[in-house]
Amino acid sequence: MRQLPVLVVHGGAWAIPDDMVETHILGVQKALAKGWHVLESGGAALDAVESAIVCMEDDETFDAGRGSFLTRDGRVQLDALMMDGATLRAGGVGCVERIRNPILAARLVLEKSPHVYFVGEGAERFAQEKGMQLCRNEELVIEREIKRLKEAQEKEAAGQPDLTFAGPLSSHDTVGCVALDANGNIAAGTSTGGTLNKDPGRVGDSSLIGCGCYADNLSAASSCTGWGEPIMKLVLAKWAADKVRTGGAPDAVVQEAMQYLQKRLNGHGGMILLDQRGRFGISHNTPRMAWAYRNTEREKAGINC
């Protein structure tokens, strides 16, 4: 039996300023179009997820790929994960500095390694051995982020409260995608540059299986964005998928997940969730979240839901 495809993407959950709303909506719409082209052509959910996330990694609007937040020492370090709901195969990379599209490296891990996760130089070496061309870290750094890091460190030196990680108004432009293809398989992916002024070597939830990303045909596909440490502690993506497996509807489960994140750890963020029946949910407990979805009947994008 053929399944009607569904695609959902997100581009971060935070207090997106009015003057950045248009670029965020355009960014997720472009990513949606890329992923949907794969699905409507009969392509696999994994391919649709990859296509959509590459589009957002290449868009400097988001905290993924080129234009990501800088570490305390002024470098870009990227994390990403992909997961196949049909087989539970997963591939992740963390703290990579010379890979322009970390979601492509994550796909290589998923398909060409018996392992699930590579970090740092080992991840870069693996990707290069599998044919990926590496870049210089300087190619991923843009002037906007140099200025943003300088301002953050000046505030820190002046003793002002640091809301880089915990503040719901701070920027979390992590990107993600969940997809259901015509064969009834689901997949998920998440990609990020982490948080502004983070300590080098810090890994957030995005690339950790079950935390910021998860997919299982028997439950659901999920991608998270927001303050990574609380999301990790709750293993939130897997938590939400398990709720669907035991009978929860995705649109209700995402609401419950955001309430749980807030109530248990005062965490903030957003989530997209999709099951094998094509039901999906989008939710956030931040002022805004960039998102878009499409199925055979409807297409929509926005920053509130």
Q: What are the residue numbers of the active site?
A: 174
- Residue 194 sits at the vertex; the CA angle it makes with 51 and 33, to the nearest 5 degrees, is 20
Q: In the block, which residue shows the tokens 């982020």?
A: 145
- 198, 71 in Cβ contact below 8 A? yes
The two three-digit tokens of residue 39, written as one number? 């699905």
Q: Using the structure block, give the residue that is written with the tokens 């590459």.
A: 54
Max distance between CA atoms of the chain, in angstroms, equals 62
Element (H, E) at 24: helix 21-40
Listed in sequence order, the residues at least 6 apart from 13 whose beta carbon sits closer than 8 Å to its beta carbon are 172, 225, 226, 268, 269, 270, 284, 285, 286, 288, 289, 290
How far apart are the C-alpha atoms of 10 and 30, rounded to whole Å?
12
Residues 6+ apart with CB under 8 A from 278: 3, 4, 6, 180, 295
| 3-class DSSP assignment, residue 286 | coil
